[in-house]
Amino acid sequence: MQTPFGKETYLYWYEIMLLLRRFEEKAGQLYGMQKIRGFCHLYIGQEAIAAGAMTAIRDDDNMITAYRDHALAIAKGIPARECMAELYGKATGCTKGKGGSMHFFSKEKRFFGGHGIVGGQIGVGAGIAFAEQYQNTDRATLCFFGDGAARQGILHEAFNMAVLWQLPIVFICENNYYAMGTSVERTSKVLDIYRLADAYDMPGDSVDGMSCEDVHKGIERAVRRAREKGGPTFLEIKTYRYRGHSMSDPAKYRTKEELEEYKEKDPINQVLKTIMDNKWATEEEIGHINEKVKMEVDEAVKFAEDSPYPDDSELYKDIYVQEDYPYITD
Amino acid sequence: MRTIALRQALREAMEEEMRRDERVFLMGEEVAQYNGAYKVSQGMLDEFGPKRIIDTPITELGFAAIGVGAAMNNTRPIVEFMTWNFAELAIDQIVNHAAKVVSMSAGQFTCPIVFRGPNGSAGQLGAQHSQAFENWYANVPGLKVISTCNPYDAKGLLKSAIRDEDPIVFMESEVAYGDMGEVPEEEYLIPIGKADVKRAGTDVTIVSYNKMMKVAMGAAEELAKENISAEVIDLRTIRPLDWHTIVGSVKKTNRLVIVEEQWPFSSISSEISYRIQKEAFDYLDAPIRRICSADANMHYAGNLVALYLPDVPRTVKLVKEVMYMVK
Ligand SMILES: Cc1ncc(C[n+]2csc(CCOP(=O)(O)OP(=O)(O)O)c2C)c(N)n1
Ligand SMILES: [Mg+2]
């Protein structure tokens, strides 16, 4: 069977997507057991975007996203155990138990955060790209946000400046058709979100987010443009979240049939089918990958369980860089 | 008397005012078809229809502006923010526009609008979702600020707010929407700008508002076990500040402790402390003390959240300090 990518790529996609899926399933369970608190937004169903993005970029490219950040953070290289520990609010988490589910960060992995104010990261992402241009690097910045976020005014301000200054950024709208309980049709008359780029003369494209191949191709092209000083690109990647908006959302606003329709196109199944059709792995080898992923998630949970909570003295740490800042304590 | 939840008290206030006045409508994210992110507007779409219960895109600046313009033009909008953290995007409309319509137009135009939603922390939600903003808005001439999570007060004050001719910032509490309280069936209004003595006492005055009232009342309860009689005042309205009620109480108790969820710098307690030292200096037997949220961003971990927020034991200790019982 002709495939646009080789065996290694498909096996990577399979393993990383399975890890993201199993991590999120476990996070969902642990939330139910109150091990994880606060808001928790799962990425299940959207994994092909993280997987396809990772094969299309370099390790030193930048990433920034919203609160639905677990999977992109892990794909970008933050160890699953540090992510799980963060969900537990433990000192060994990727933000020392300070950020929680919505605010994963890693300077080392050039992951500029999970951000909780809808749309805020669209402008911040443009600023990160601005600094790359300023420092004359060839790094690209991937800036992710939702279909709901695409209606915030900051999108227009950031798009305009990004084109005006030819910033090396790829704006990526993960269109999963809903912003909480509000479907895309109820937020605008512009349903092809990628066309918002037209108003600013920015190249825009629609991408199938259930296909790793499509995601890779779309992002690769846009990243090349960014590196070659061709300016920003806007990709609308159509995807679906299988779960509710957050753990407290029963998702009554959509039908079972709609959900099933997307599960039919599940990216993990698609990639596995390609691997099997091409005889790139035996059942046994796939079994090994499955087992390896399971162990990684189990190990992450054990690590989180065994880790300490932050010391009480952390209350007044990481507020300012200045260490002897005079806090008001009375 | 019947008891109902805070979310129902707020809903009844909006429903009654909407039945009374065609010009009142509700606008915000998920208020209609989803029945409200926290179910405050549950069922309102069914009764009033999509013309008056309006779902918006996630565009806080935009729909706040629609509200301000509409309020200038003979309607009375209620604009719901999913939380006040998100109203930061709309603060330009609230502060630079709504608060200044009367002044700039020399009274020709008014802006009778209510901006409402939950304020303050709600568990382990991290730095961006846990902020309390009363003092931000209370600083602004032209705005009135109400902050309460008591069902009875919330209903009576929200009705007054909707009828008021000036722009109102109305702050609720996400963690208190299920709190039950006695609310009469009959209609009533509570005037804006009046504090309420929730517990009478003689030894010390504790002033608080919104969900920190639970800490204040809890502390009063603990203190009573040790024969210390605390008077607890719920401000309910932040601006205009009903300092007369506080002065009246301090003249009796000679001691004042303030409990609030604000950050300490330039907070409501700062303002109260100024006013009371000026108006009741000769009646104070101890410095005014306060307990605020930590002068920090709220971290996610449970232990750091607990340390961040005012609590009963630290309030009790503070009261004992102003009574010179402990150092
Ligand atoms: C400024 C702001 N307004 C509202 C919210 C509450 N909120 C959190 S997520 C969300 C929906 C966002 O949907 P979308 O952008 O499509 O992203 P998705 O959750 O589908 O990934 C809303 C309304 C917020 N966090 N920030
Ligand atoms: Mg969405």
Q: Tens of pLDDT along B92-102?
A: 999 999 999 99
Q: Verify that B12 and B137 share a domain, yes or no.
A: yes
- Select from B200, B152, B140 the least CA-distant residue to B176: B152
DSSP B110-156: ----EEEEE-S--SS--GGG----HHHHHTSTT-EEEE---HHHHHH
Q: Reduced to 3 DSSP states, what percent helix, strand and coil does chain A have, rounded to the nearest 5?
A: 50, 10, 40
Closest-CA residue of chain B to A35: B302
Query: Domain check: are B163 and B250 in the same one?
Result: no
Number of helices (H), then strands (E), in chain A? 10, 8
pLDDT of residue B310: 98
Q: What is the mean pLDDT of chain B?
A: 98
Ligand 1 pocket residue status of B127, Cβ below 6 Å: no
Q: Which of B155, B182, B209 is the last residue of a domain?
A: B182
Domain count, chain B: 2
- Note whether residue B225 is domain-resident: yes
Taking only the tens place, the pLDDT of each residue in B213-252 is 999 999 999 999 999 999 999 999 999 999 999 999 999 9
Residue B76 is predicted with a pLDDT of: 98
A92 has which bridge partners? none
Give the CATH number of the domain where residue B29 resides.
3.40.50.970
ipTM: 0.96
Output the pLDDT for position B326.
86
Q: In this structure, what CATH number is given to the domain that contains residue B262?
A: 3.40.50.920
Residues B92 and B202 in one domain: no
Residues 6+ apart with CB under 8 A from A136: none
pLDDT at res. A98: 98
C-alpha angle with apex B319: B228 to B227, nearest 5 degrees? 10
Task: Report whether B152 contacts A129 (CB < 8 A).
Answer: no
Is residue A180 in contact with ligand 1, taking CB distance under 6 Å? yes
Q: Is B237 within the bounds of a domain? A: yes
pLDDT at A182: 97
Other CB atoms within a 10 A radius of the CB of residue B31 amount to 25
Do residue B90 and residue B148 come from a single domain?
A: yes
Residue B83 tokens, joined: 């939380």
CA-CA distance, A160 to A162, in Å (whole number)? 6
Does ligand 1 come within 6 angstroms of the Cβ of A176? yes
Q: How confident is the model at residue B50 (pLDDT cuts 50, 70, 90)?
A: very high
Residue B190 within a domain: no
Taking CB atoms and an 8 Å cutoff, what residues of chain A touch B89?
A: 117, 152
Give the model's pLDDT for residue A4.
85
Name the residue ranges covered by the structural domains of chain A: 7-316
CB-based contact A102 B85, cutoff 8 Å: no
Q: Is A150 in the pocket of ligand 1 (CB under 6 A)?
A: no
Are A310 and B304 in contact (CB < 8 Å)?
A: yes
The yes-or-no answer on residue B129 being catalytic is yes
Measured between its terminal Cα atoms, the distance across chain A in Å is 71
Q: What's the alpha-carbon Rg for chain A, to the nearest Å?
A: 20
B60 tagged catalytic: yes
Quote the distance between the C-alpha of residue B215 and its chain's center: 15
Q: What is the pLDDT of residue A149?
A: 98
Q: Do B110 and B81 sit in the same domain of this protein?
A: yes
> Containing domain of residue B18, as a range?
3-182
- The domain boundary, picked from B182, B208, B235, lies at B182
B100-158 pLDDT, tens digit per residue, is 999 999 999 999 999 999 999 999 999 999 999 999 999 999 999 999 999 999 999 99
SS3 B172: strand
Q: What share of chain B is helix, strand, coil (3-state, %, to 5)?
A: 40, 15, 40
- For residue A327, the chain B residues in CB contact (below 8 A) are 294-296
Judge whether B88 is closer than 8 Å to chain A, CB to CB. yes
Across the interface, whether the CB atoms of A315 and B29 are under 8 A apart is answered no
On whether both B44 and B100 belong to a single domain, the answer is: yes
Residue B327 has pLDDT above 80, yes or no: no
CA of A183 to the centre of ligand 2 (A): 8
B152-193 pLDDT, tens digit each: 999 999 999 999 999 999 999 999 999 999 999 999 999 999
Q: Are residues B161 and B267 in the same domain?
A: no
Considering the domain architecture, whether residues B253 and B172 belong to the same structural domain is answered as no
Q: Which of B126, B290, B301 sits opposite A116 (nearest CB)?
A: B126
- Domain assignment present for residue B89? The answer is yes
Q: Which of B30, B129, B222, B299 is catalytic?
A: B129
CA distance A231 to A287: 43
Q: Is residue B188 part of a domain?
A: no
Please give the structure tokens belonging to residue B245: 């009620």
Q: Which residues of chain B neighbour A148 with C-beta distances below 8 Å?
A: 57-58
B229: phi then psi, degrees, rounded to nearest 5: -100, 110
Maximum separation of any 2 CA atoms in chain B, in Å: 60
Q: Is residue B191 part of a domain?
A: no
Give yes or no: residues B46 and B144 share one domain. yes
Q: Give A323's contacts (C-beta < 8 A, 6+ positions apart).
A: none
Distance A308 CA to ligand 1 centre (A): 31
Q: Which CATH number fits domain A7-316: 3.30.1330.60, 1.10.1040.10, 3.40.50.970, 3.40.50.800?
A: 3.40.50.970
Pair B38, B176 in one domain: yes
Q: What is the full per-residue pLDDT of chain A (330 aa) written as tens digits?
A: 778 899 999 999 999 999 999 999 999 999 999 999 999 999 999 999 999 999 999 999 999 999 999 999 999 999 999 999 999 999 999 999 999 999 999 999 999 999 999 999 999 999 999 999 999 999 999 999 999 999 999 999 999 999 999 999 999 999 999 999 999 999 999 999 999 999 999 999 999 999 999 999 999 999 999 999 999 999 999 999 999 999 999 999 999 999 999 999 999 999 999 999 999 999 999 999 999 999 999 999 999 999 999 999 999 999 999 999 999 999
Residue A75 DSSP one-character state: H
Catalytic residue, chosen from B15, B17, B60, B260, is: B60
In chain A, residues with a C-beta closer than 8 Å to the C-beta of B308 are 315
B206 and B175 together in one domain: no
- Do B146 and B287 sit in the same domain of this protein? no
Looking at the domain assignment, is residue B327 inside a domain? no
Q: How far is A177 from A45, CA to CA, in rounded Å?
A: 12
CA distance B26 to B15: 10
Q: How many CB atoms lie within 10 A of CB B243?
A: 20
Lookup: tokens for B156: 């009576």
Does residue B116 lie within any of the structural domains? yes
